[in-house]
């Protein structure tokens, strides 16, 4: 049995939007008041923006992209503006989007020159490709008119961040819209001090995210190499496809991650609004909003 620090599950009436700002080993004592507020503000703003899309009928894919753009721009989390640095001092970001209705996927890896990697991933989803990496992905984004990022846009090593452990604060979103369409998105700056060129699970379909209207939409966060080896998001899908409850499927996927030495968390939602938020770490930044229920944000197991 996996030792879960966060294990929430239930059913909400669609539309449902869940976002996360990463799982990690920090305890409440490690995160000061201003930092907690920055996390809460980022998650609240992401829920509000994504909910606007869901309530105006823009659909699940639009909602997860909108929510993740807000998280990328917040500077408080390890994605987009707040991405951590590699061992060479560069910022290398990964992002992906999946549409559960069509199972279209778009992803970018190790991009350095764009403000919002998730927007570029969305463009790839609408194109004939699935995953673009490195300078070619940056070129694709800039040629496509996506906003470039000046080096001073990034705030990776500000005073609030230098004591952070190597991983954490990756962002993601899952949604089901009023029509039962699912989507997932994940975006990260990777792991602090990672070797240039290292890519984790976040932009990899089946590891860092999944969406399929027949089963479940999932976004993960944690030790990227372990989520890749466990193919964690796809593991949830396979178990739900086989009839498992979403909570049991999510816990089992995190058990597989632990079995290969990793830790982290995930958010998941089905077309019916069954959902799960699970983590094996003390910190799991997350928020949820759904039809008829106000937005709720939490950082740790109990608060």
Residues that bind ligand ASP (CB under 6 A): 22, 167-168, 170, 188, 190-191, 200-202, 221-222, 224
Q: Which is nearer to ligand ASP, 54 or 111 (CB)?
A: 111
Catalytic site positions = 170
Q: Give the nearest distance from C-beta 179 to ligand ASP in angstroms.
A: 30
Q: Give the nearest distance from C-beta 298 to ligand ASP in angstroms.
A: 17
**CA geometry: angle 50, 267, 64, nearest 5 deg:** 25
Q: Which is nearer to ligand ASP, 221 or 298 (CB)?
A: 221
Ranked by CB distance to ligand ASP, the top (closest) residue is 224
Q: Which is nearer to ligand ASP, 14 or 287 (CB)?
A: 287
Q: 3-state SS string over the chain?
A: CCCCCEEEEEECCCCEEEEEEEEECCCHHHCCHHHHHHHHHHHHHHHHHHHHHHHCCCCHHHHHHHHHHHHHHCCCCCCHHHCCCCCCCCCCEEEEEEECCCCEEEEEEEECCECCHHHHHHHHHCCCCCEEEHHHHHHHHHHCCCCECCHHHCCCCCCCCCCCCCCCCCEEEEEECCCCCEEEEEEECCCCCCCCCCCCCCCCECCCEEECCCCCEEEEEECHHHHHHHCHHHHHHHHHHCCCCHHHHHHHHHHHHHHCCCCEEEEEECCCCEEEEEECCCEEEEEEEECCEEEEEEEECCC
Q: Which is nearer to ligand ASP, 80 or 200 (CB)?
A: 200
Q: Which is nearer to ligand ASP, 101 or 221 (CB)?
A: 221
Q: Give the nearest distance from C-beta 199 to ligand ASP in angstroms.
A: 7
Q: Give the nearest distance from C-beta 223 to ligand ASP in angstroms.
A: 6
Q: List beta partners, residue 7.
A: 278
Q: Give the nearest distance from C-beta 299 to ligand ASP in angstroms.
A: 15
């Amino acid at each position: 049995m996996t030792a879960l620090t966060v294990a929430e599950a239930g059913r909400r009436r669609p539309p449902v939007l869940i976002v996360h700002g990463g799982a990690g080993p920090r305890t409440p004592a490690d995160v000061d008041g201003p930092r907690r507020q920055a996390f809460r503000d980022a998650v609240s703003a992401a829920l509000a923006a994504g909910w606007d899309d869901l309530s105006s009928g823009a659909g699940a894919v639009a909602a997860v992209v909108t929510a993740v753009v807000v998280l990328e721009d917040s500077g408080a989390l390890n994605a987009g503006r707040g991405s951590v640095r590699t061992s060479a001092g560069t910022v290398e970001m990964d992002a992906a989007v999946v549409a559960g209705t069509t199972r279209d996927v778009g992803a970018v890896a190790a991009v350095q020159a764009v403000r919002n990697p998730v927007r570029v991933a969305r463009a790839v989803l609408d194109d004939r490709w699935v995953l673009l990496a490195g300078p070619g992905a940056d070129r694709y984004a800039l040629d496509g008119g996506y906003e470039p990022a000046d080096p001073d846009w990034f705030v990776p090593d500000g005073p609030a961040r230098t004591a952070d452990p190597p991983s954490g604060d990756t962002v993601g979103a899952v949604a089901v819209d009023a029509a039962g369409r699912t989507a997932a998105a994940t975006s990260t700056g990777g792991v602090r001090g990672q070797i240039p060129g290292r890519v984790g699970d976040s932009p990899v379909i089946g590891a860092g995210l999944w969406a399929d209207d027949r089963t479940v939409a999932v976004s993960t966060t944690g030790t990227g190499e372990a989520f890749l080896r466990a193919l964690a998001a796809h593991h949830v899908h396979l178990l739900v496809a086989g009839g498992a409850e979403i909570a049991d499927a999510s816990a089992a996927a995190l058990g597989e991650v632990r079995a290969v030495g990793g830790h982290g968390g995930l958010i998941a939602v089905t077309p019916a609004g069954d959902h799960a938020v699970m983590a094996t770490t003390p910190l799991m930044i997350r928020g949820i909003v759904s039809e008829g229920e106000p937005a709720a944000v939490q950082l740790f197991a109990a608060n």
